[in-house]
Amino acid sequence: MGDNPVTGGRQKPAVVNGLLLLNKPAGMTSNQALQKVKRLLKAKKAGHTGSLDPAATGMLPLCFGEATKVCAYLLEADKTYRVTARLGEATDTADADGEIIETAPVPELDRDAWAAILKGFEGASEQIPPMYSALKKDGKRLYELARKGQTVERDARPIRIDEIDLLEASGSRLVFRVHCSKGTYVRTLVEDIAKVAGTVAHTAKLHRETVGDFRSEDMVDMAGAIEAAESDPESLRERLLPADVALAGWPACRVVTDDVERFSGGQQVACDSDGAGLIKVYGPDERFLGVGELTGGNNVAPKRIFMLAG
């Protein structure tokens, strides 16, 4: 009798390669979500990229097997969020899980005024990370210090907001969509928007819609993942995306059959592209071989080698 796909057991971990775009539910850390899906897939190796706060929902790319090698590249990806802010109340954590520490009247602004305030945040700027964050200061997580009532000085970090659009402004409720660079703290953005408007606020709901070039319609929710694993574990594995999908916007090159083994063995080989920078490398059969770096003269050196079945 086989092991239950949900509860796990002592069955040997399967060889599972690929990415699953999980629509993370609220009330679960990113790592808890990863470990749960890892058990459902019976995967041996797993990782995630772009952590979401426990209260946040939305796209969490989970990487399994060889696909864990793209995690570092996904950390650089831009992201899109749908944000619901509660105006007039500030909390110690800047989200709905915290205690209210300040209140202020909500200004009577019309839709055009709110839209103008939001647009003022587009472009490059610097942002001071919140105390309730996983960043480290002298070896300690900031949220660990915050829970002890400590506040320490944080250096401002460069961020970029490409687009921010108002969706709703009604009373104390403000809803907007923001497309931003990595490292942008939406909770801090909400507080800064409120400050410009002459009030205070916290993030009531946060939903991540996209990461890089991944599409929201390709997400799987946790209930769907559990249902698939219970009915047929293989059906959940069929939902995995190939590792190179994470690098969809990258340039690509190809190497000839005789050089596939050499490239996969760590040697520089000739390819059909020239220039400089990182590039996706494929064999003549369109099998993804890994990430290479163009070194000029139509040569490519391996940077990350993927051992995927041909």
Which active-site residues does the annotation give? 53
Amino acid (1-letter code) at residue 238? E
Contacts of 256 (CB under 8 A, 6+ apart): 270, 284
Please give the Cα distance from 84 to 52 (Å, whole number): 16
- Compute the distance between CA of residue 133 and CA of residue 171 in angstroms, rounded to an integer: 29
Helices vs. strands in the chain: H and E counts, helices first:
8, 18
What SS3 class is residue 162? strand
Residue with tokens 């650089």: 76
Contacts 24+ apart (CB under 8 A), 231-234: 233/5, 233/40, 233/41, 233/42
What is d(CA 71, CA 61) in angstroms, rounded to the nearest whole number? 9
